[in-house]
Structure 1
Amino acid sequence: MSDSTQTLDETTLLNRVQAPEGEGREILDAATREAIGRAPVQSVADLDDAIARARAAQPGWEARGHEERSALLMKAADALEANAEVLARLLSREQGKPLNGPNARFEVGACSAWLRATASTPLETQVVVDDGEVYAELHYRAVGVVGAIGPWNWPMMISIWQIAPSLRMGNTVVIKPSEHTPLSVLAMLAIMNDVLPTDVLIGISGDREVGARLSSHPGIDKVMFTGSTATGRKIIEASAGNLARLTLELGGNDAGIILPGTDPKAIAQDLFWGAFINTGQTCAALKRLYVHDSIYDDVVDALAEVAALMPMGNGLDENNVLGPLQNKAQFDIVSGLVEDARANGGRIVTGGAPAPELGELFYPVTLVADVTDGVALVDEEQFGPVLPIIRYHDVDDAVASANGLDVGLGASVWGDRDEARRVAARIQAGTVWINSHGGVHPMIPFGGVKGSGYGLEFGVEGLKSVSVPQIING
């Protein structure tokens, strides 16, 4: 732990976290497919050692108390801000998202913002009974060692969502980043560990075997995971043996409903970014849009006009706001869903085919009109720059469609605010936004229902989720 904030260049930072020459696994630039560096490939034995060190460090970390831990998180935020540009450039290359727009610089800034908000959120002792005869208080204590498993779409920000509340409440953290985007997360951890005590926060870069062991390890008291529903189910099964507590933010297929009487041009920009933030690679992005017949064509035209103005390309180009798909597997999923929609009568309004002139993993913004429920692009999460637009005639039918899948992370309703709120109350989703989609706030709880997982993150509820309640009675 150091008291000074260092500002590092990209080469120095990368050398601190990557594997030695000739070792590790090569990580490619998502846009150019050139080598960025070599991710360490650690083993289950390395994980066992990391968890043992985290367990040894946890009592001392908890004993520092909320005030000191919060002060150190504030210093970690300072360190990230001092290195924000180098982190954003590494993130842009590894994940693919451009520097500008709601992308790489935005993500790094969100990491600092969430650290500060989490550090400054009070969690007061609650007096549950005080009737003159009985006095009882509800306290929240550290759960122990938190095992965190992060995704590749927002690798740094979602890692902070797991790390910040866990550390704030006195837990230590062992975190495994995605195999697709390990370097940016490891770089962030290295900067934070310049100010945090030894072994309070440990990164492990390994394969799926390491992730599976993290979920089932007897030394882990809490597992936090963001990723697919299928993997979430495996984590639930793996954690049964050690009874680890779980927070699972799983897959979504968020529906948006546009009510009759809404002005398409007034909402087109917000609709676009609700669907295509991070080139559509966002769990709570708008992924299927239900539009009333009376304004259907106008909404399609307004979205197409916005899409035509959004430049796509290499993320290090300051002009671009859309990037490639992060990996070939996801590129193939997106391509296959578009072709299936085309074969099932979908009308390609924009895009509709890969853009090899931009690079291997680029797929342009694609609007697919005139599709229906039952088509794979509507029923399955595309997780890419494609939006199916579905016509409806009756609001009850749109609500039924929104609720018809076994996911419920987010949803949105667009139109008159009072009417939209009435419709929102009927939708089965953890969050329903009114006249926007996908925005998160460090003080507003966030989590899914149905196949989108369980547990809450952010704010006071997020602090409680990485704690164990204790009643002091008397």
Structure 2
Amino acid sequence: MTTEVAAPSGYDAFLAAITPTSGLMKTILDPATGGVVGEAPVHSVADLEHAVAAAVAAQPAWAGLGHEGRSAALLRAADAVERSAEDLARLLSREQGKPLNGPNARFEVGSCVAWLRAAATIPLEAETIVDDGQTRAELHYRPIGVVGAIGPWNWPMMITVWQIAPALRMGNSVVVKPSEYTPLSVLALAKVINEELPEGLLSVISGGRDVGERLAGHPAVGKIMFTGSTATGKAIIKSSADTVKRLTLELGGNDAGIVLPDADPKAIAQDLFWGAFINSGQTCAALKRLYVHEDIYDAVCEELGAVAAAAPMGNGLDETSVLGPLQNKQQFDIVNRLVDSAKHSGARILTGGNPPQEQPGYFYPTTLVADIDNDNPLVAEEQFGPALPIIKYSTVNEAVAMANGLDVGLGASVWSSDPAAARKVAARIQAGTVWINKHGAVDPRIPFGGAKQSGYGLEFGVEGLKALGVPQIING
């Protein structure tokens, strides 16, 4: 499961190009093997101040290029990422743990290319609000200035692009603070993108919590984009208050899926599985609570078990792997604790539940848990790993009430052979996005954001571009 796989020489040269030659450094370890991936800089608050100052200086000329000039640069950046895609994917696989194949590392880098191109090409025209012969009012969106982007470790490259691409398109400069777990991936991505951008416009500051706190409260930063836990999001809200920053927060989720009694268990099993286990469950908008009607409960459990058995888990550089390790020990311990609590409560472990002992890597086996109460910690807390609780229900009203029973609402899904019936149920669910017969399928053209304590603000599409600008009315 954890066999070391050698990376090619081209990758070694790529990694060397982002390795610091002096200053404080942090050794980054491969979550699959425990081996050294590389050395990342440990930047300070002073480094952040220099980056913000450079961003302030670079932003006006960038804004002056207009949408056409900025879009052209972003399209060139997308081409540059595409040229370096394999080296980026291999670095991502080693640092984050996700396999090259399946909806994982190569998929993530490909998504970076797609989102850069989408941000560059989605039209954003001035809106005429009133034009009645006496009054004319137009709505425009102007650059904010400097945007701070604070990203997570689960999809470090892709989510960074989700943040920086629309910010740059709208005429802003950006300072990125990556997760301390996955800084190399973001540093490498920024190095490639910066081949096509003016100096100082996009910086990555790879530091600790003190750097993130200063970025969130910095008076020269006009907006913070953050993807991560609800607890950290609340801290950012507090840090940003004195400077009245604009915020886009994509926070924790604990997404529910409801399988209606008319669904075909075999037909939906593959999509159900990947809705839950993409990136080994380490996805904010992954399916984390599955509610199945009692009439088809056993059949759904059986079909999911068959899909799980056919999904190999192993070292990310092994071309046969489609599931990888958890990224860090803290997350491994959370998943292990929650599955153990389910076992002790009397829930039935259909598959998995017993992590390998005395082996390198944070591998937790694909785990399906049946006959579990809705208030069990594995259901009520976000596990963020490869363990799916499957809860039986009797009526749709009961399922909807359970799905809405938590204080989060990022995504949800409804599964049915009747899309019209599924949409009626979807309208009753308190979540920012409700998918029908799929889960977690994001699209750069379609706005995405959370409800309740899963955050606020929209990303993607025209609405995502508008969120990175300051609305201005020209009246007259």
- Tell me the TM-score range normalised by the shorter chain: over 0.9
Q: How does 1:324-363 map to 2 (within 5 A)?
A: 324-356=325-357, 359-363=360-364
- 2:58 and 2:438 map into 1 onto residues whose CA distance is 43
Instruction: State the Cα distance separating 1:357 from its structure 2 match.
Output: 7.1
Deviations 1:91-128 (A, max 9, x none): 00000000000000000000000000110000010000
- Report what 1:20 is aligned to: 21
- Structure 1 counterpart of 2:55, which letter? A
- Report what 2:447 is aligned to: 445
The residue matched to 1:141 in structure 2 has which SS? strand
Instruction: State the Cα distance separating 1:194 from its structure 2 match.
Output: 1.1
- 2:306 and 2:14 map into 1 onto residues whose CA distance is 41
- Report what 1:401 is aligned to: 402
- 1:169 and 1:320 map into 2 onto residues whose CA distance is 39
- 1:445 and 1:360 map into 2 onto residues whose CA distance is 36
Deviations 1:150-176 (A, max 9, x none): 000000000000000000000000001
- 2:322 and 2:345 map into 1 onto residues whose CA distance is 31
Deviations 1:232-278 (A, max 9, x none): 00000000011110000000000000000211000000000000000
Task: Please say if residues 316 and 324 of structure 2, whose CA atoms lie closer than 8 Å, have aligned partners that are also in contact.
Answer: yes
- 2:421 and 2:24 map into 1 onto residues whose CA distance is 59
Q: CA RMSD in A?
A: 1.0
- 2:24 and 2:217 map into 1 onto residues whose CA distance is 28
Alignment partner of 1:422 out of 404, 424, 449: 424
- 2:359 and 2:17 map into 1 onto residues whose CA distance is 32
- 2:358 and 2:161 map into 1 onto residues whose CA distance is 35
- Structure 2 counterpart of 1:70, which letter? S
- Report what 1:61 is aligned to: 62
The residue matched to 1:240 in structure 2 has which SS? helix
Deviations 1:346-393 (A, max 9, x none): 100000111247633000100000011110000000000000000000
Deviations 1:399-451 (A, max 9, x none): 00000000000000000211100000000000000000000000000000101
- Report what 2:43 is aligned to: 42
Gaps of 5+ in 1: 1-7
The residue matched to 2:296 in structure 1 has which SS? helix
Q: In the alignment, does 2:378 pair up with 1:382? A: no
Instruction: State the Cα distance separating 1:22 from its structure 2 match.
Output: 8.1
- Report what 1:85 is aligned to: 86
- 2:373 and 2:225 map into 1 onto residues whose CA distance is 35
Q: How does 1:231-242 map to 2 (within 5 A)?
A: 231-242=232-243
Q: How does 1:198-277 map to 2 (within 5 A)?
A: 198-277=199-278
- Structure 2 counterpart of 1:278, which letter? N
- Report what 1:473 is aligned to: 475
- 1:56 and 1:131 map into 2 onto residues whose CA distance is 41
- Report what 2:71 is aligned to: 70
Instruction: State the Cα distance separating 1:204 from its structure 2 match.
Output: 0.4
Task: Please say if residues 76 and 192 of structure 1, whose CA atoms lie closer than 8 Å, have aligned partners that are also in contact.
Answer: yes
Q: In the alignment, does 2:186 pair up with 1:180? A: no
- Report what 1:279 is aligned to: 280
- Structure 2 counterpart of 1:75, which letter? R
- 1:370 and 1:138 map into 2 onto residues whose CA distance is 54
Task: Please say if residues 214 and 220 of structure 1, whose CA atoms lie closer than 8 Å, have aligned partners that are also in contact.
Answer: yes
- 1:321 and 1:281 map into 2 onto residues whose CA distance is 14
- Report what 1:3 is aligned to: none
- Structure 1 counterpart of 2:467, which letter? S
Instruction: State the Cα distance separating 1:15 from its structure 2 match.
Output: 2.0
Task: Please say if residues 456 and 462 of structure 1, whose CA atoms lie closer than 8 Å, have aligned partners that are also in contact.
Answer: yes
Q: In the alignment, does 2:344 pair up with 1:364? A: no
Instruction: State the Cα distance separating 1:10 from its structure 2 match.
Output: 1.9
- 2:467 and 2:436 map into 1 onto residues whose CA distance is 26
- 1:164 and 1:432 map into 2 onto residues whose CA distance is 25
- 1:357 and 1:197 map into 2 onto residues whose CA distance is 49
Q: In the alignment, does 2:100 pair up with 1:102? A: no
Gaps of 5+ in 2: 1-8
TM-score w.r.t. length of structure 1: 0.97
- 2:406 and 2:229 map into 1 onto residues whose CA distance is 15
Task: Please say if residues 415 and 436 of structure 2, whose CA atoms lie closer than 8 Å, have aligned partners that are also in contact.
Answer: yes
Task: Please say if residues 23 and 41 of structure 2, whose CA atoms lie closer than 8 Å, have aligned partners that are also in contact.
Answer: no
- Report what 1:411 is aligned to: 412
Instruction: State the Cα distance separating 1:13 from its structure 2 match.
Output: 2.2
TM-score w.r.t. length of structure 2: 0.97
Instruction: State the Cα distance separating 1:11 from its structure 2 match.
Output: 2.3
- Report what 1:129 is aligned to: 130
- Report what 1:154 is aligned to: 155
Task: Please say if residues 313 and 358 of structure 1, whose CA atoms lie closer than 8 Å, have aligned partners that are also in contact.
Answer: no
The residue matched to 1:194 in structure 2 has which SS? helix
Q: May I ask how many residue pairs the two structures share in their alignment?
A: 467
- Structure 2 counterpart of 1:85, which letter? E
The residue matched to 2:242 in structure 1 has which SS? coil
